[in-house]
Amino acid sequence: MMNKSFRDYLRSKGLKSTHQREVVVDLFLRLDTHCSVEDLYHAAQRKDKRIGYSTVYRTLKLLVEAGLAEERRFSGEVTRFELVHRGKHHDHLICIKCGRIIEFTNDRIEKLQEKVAKKHNFKISDHKYEIYGYCSRCKK
Amino acid sequence: MMNKSFRDYLRSKGLKSTHQREVVVDLFLRLDTHCSVEDLYHAAQRKDKRIGYSTVYRTLKLLVEAGLAEERRFSGEVTRFELVHRGKHHDHLICIKCGRIIEFTNDRIEKLQEKVAKKHNFKISDHKYEIYGYCSRCKK
DNA sequence: TTGAAAATGAAATTCAGTTTCAATTAGTTT
DNA sequence: AAACTAATTGAAACTGAATTTCATTTTCAA
């Protein structure tokens, strides 16, 4: 049930596969929203009352370490975690009214970013492009 | 000594010009770094021991309200404030080793951003583009 | 089965950010 | 210039998310 890559990651680090981790990881992989620790905690609670907040928190951190999740913190929001889909980097449009998060990719922007970096003799390791505004449903 | 726009802003809102505000605003305008409340508080303390942290905090918020400063929060960092220079929007390159912040602007990226928004029927109100990596001094 | 190491949940802690409140100050009105 | 009113101040208290602690429980290799 639990993701193979994650189980492999645990083994490689000498960590243990526990019932709680199974539940949390399983839920995280299913829910394909950008969820907060809070969100996942409640979802996990519905499956098993004994799963604590700290465990959810720690499991999400492990998922990030394992490279399966990414931590995002949008302006004025709590930290959210998203599933990393096969090396495909993407950025976000965030609706400031309803909170909807839309992912986008744009190769031409990435190319221009390279140029900007070169101009400043800067070695890029990561970037974050967030566009805030109103989504199609909220703009009128 | 204190910025005219800020004084005007205070009057327009029926707020008062105080010694503390004079000192804090004056320092903020001089220091052209991206400074934290902490930074400014220490600078202000050197000028006048009686200036408290809350006053610095509140004065920075006022500067933002007045449109003279912008609040920025880079990944893993505390909130920083930067002076708004004449309507010129810019983005940032942030060195993950030494913390240096380099500003950049790129019209072509802004244009592409418009396209992305249009494609998703999204009305942009703001954006944030942060590129993390190693600056020229730290990259070797 | 057992023992060592890791994991757990509840509670405590941290830390930046923010608010409260009694005392002080600014600046208008008399 | 004195009085008055509302805004401001600094210290301390509070907030809320994130993180850690710790005694107990669980995993899993030997």
Q: What is the chain B residue with the closest CA to A110?
A: B109
Higher pLDDT, B44 or B76: B44
pLDDT of B86 strictly over 70 = no
**Residue B80 parent element (H or E):** strand B80-83
Assign A113 to helix, strand or coil. helix
Contacts of B98 by beta carbon, 8 Å cutoff, 6+ apart: B135, B137, B138
Query: Of the candidates B124, B125, B134, which has its C-beta nearest A123's C-beta?
Result: B134
Question: What is the distance in angstroms between the Cα of B8 and the nearest Cα belonging to chain A?
Answer: 29
What is the C-alpha to C-alpha distance for residues A24 and A30, in angstroms, rounded to an integer?
10
Tell me the pLDDT tens digit for each residue of A85-110: 866 789 999 999 999 999 999 999 99
Q: Which fold has domain B91-133?
A: Dna Ligase; domain 1 (3.30.1490)
Q: What is the chain B residue with the closest CA to A72?
A: B75
Assign B41 to helix, strand or coil. helix
pLDDT of B58 strictly over 90 = yes
CATH number of B4-83: 1.10.10.10
Tell me the pLDDT tens digit for each residue of B105-139: 999 999 999 999 999 999 999 999 999 999 999 98
Residue A87 has a pLDDT of: 66
In chain A, how many H helices and how many E strands? 5, 5
Contacts of A75 in chain B (CB under 8 A): 73, 128
**Residue A121 parent element (H or E):** none
What is the C-alpha to C-alpha distance for residues B84 and B67, in angstroms, rounded to an integer?
7
pLDDT of B11 strictly over 60 = yes
**Best of A107, A129, A134 to mutate (most B CBs within 10 Å, chain B):** A129
Give the confidence band of A39 by pLDDT, cuts at 50, 70, 90. very high
Q: Where are the domains of chain A?
A: 4-83, 91-133
Quote the tokens at residue B43. 């600078």
Which residue has the closest alpha carbon to D27 C1'?
Answer: A16
